[in-house]
Amino acid sequence: MPARFSALAVFILFASVLIGCATQPGKKVLTYSEQTTELPKPMTVREAGSYGLYPDDGITPIETVMLQRGQTIGFRHASDGTVVGFADGKEYKLTAVLATDYSWKFLGKNAAK
């Protein structure tokens, strides 16, 4: 019986970690998928606040930026040909090892990371 309890405890712990990893804060506003050849059109921010650039395989943003209404976010090709995320002129490398999608998410008006 103790071995059975031990296996159940390990399963519950593992399932909890997986569920926690799947939860990212914020609301997606723009997504880039490595499976496509076209980049999504950049977007103009409608609401001032905090925006995070997230890989699809993580809960920690690559970058979090505070933006004002009218600033631009998106994805583009860098001078070396790789795809980068950008926010109002600054570029951020898409560095996740296993990610195939990256998203800009609105984190809130007063969110800070």
Of 102, 18, 99, 89, the C-alpha closest to 52 is 102
Q: pTM for this structure?
A: 0.76
Cβ within 8 Å of residue 101, ≥6 positions away:
31, 32, 33, 34, 55, 56
For 80-111, the DSSP string reads TS-EEEEETTEEEE---SS-SEEEEEEEESS-
Question: How does pLDDT run across 95-104, given as a tens digit for each residue?
Answer: 888 999 999 9
Check residue 37 and give its pLDDT: 85
pLDDT above 70 covers a percentage of the chain that reads 77
Question: How does pLDDT run across 7-52, given as a tens digit for each residue?
Answer: 544 454 444 444 444 567 889 999 999 998 899 999 999 999 999 9
Q: Which residue has the tokens 């800009």?
A: 104
Cα 54 to Cα 96: distance, rounded to the nearest angstrom: 9
Check residue 24 and give its pLDDT: 72
Check residue 95 and give its pLDDT: 87
